[in-house]
Amino acid sequence: MRLAVRSLPVACEAAVFLPGDMPLLRPEEIGALVERFERTGAPLVVAVDESGERAHPVLFARGLFAPLVALAGDESGHGIIREHWSAAEKVLVPRSRVLDVDTEEDYQRLLAEWEDGNA
């Protein structure tokens, strides 16, 4: 995250981060976060599932770039998200879109859902 933020153009107002192991997220869902940021100017826009649980993707506004750059080692942005949760805008993303593919079993489940038309 540090390297990504450091490489952003100076004029960049926000950045959306999403893990590469969540292949079902669609451009519309990312666009919904960007639209909410443009409408509200919130420092943080977070996808949530139907139960209100934090999901992906996450948009960090420029005001949070410094804390992202200050992350150490393999630290993620979770602490920054917790710290700014009360000011965050939340955008609903269906749970099925937030399928995390970390194992061969996860991948096979994804393929089965895809073939059944549920993905």
pLDDT (tens digit, 9 = 90+) per residue, 18-54?
877 777 778 888 999 999 999 999 999 999 988 888 8
Q: How far is residue 74 from each of residues 68, 69, 71, measured CA to CA in Å? A: 12, 12, 8
Question: pLDDT at position 56, please?
Answer: 84
pLDDT (tens digit, 9 = 90+) per residue, 61-95?
999 999 999 988 777 888 999 999 999 999 998 76
Which DSSP state fits 58?
E
**pLDDT cut 90: percent of the chain above it:** 49
Q: What is the CATH number of domain 2-116?
A: 3.90.550.10
This prediction has a pTM of: 0.82
Contact 91, 63 (CB under 8 A): no
Query: Is 90 in a helix, a strand, or coil?
Result: strand
Query: Is 86 in a helix, a strand, or coil?
Result: helix
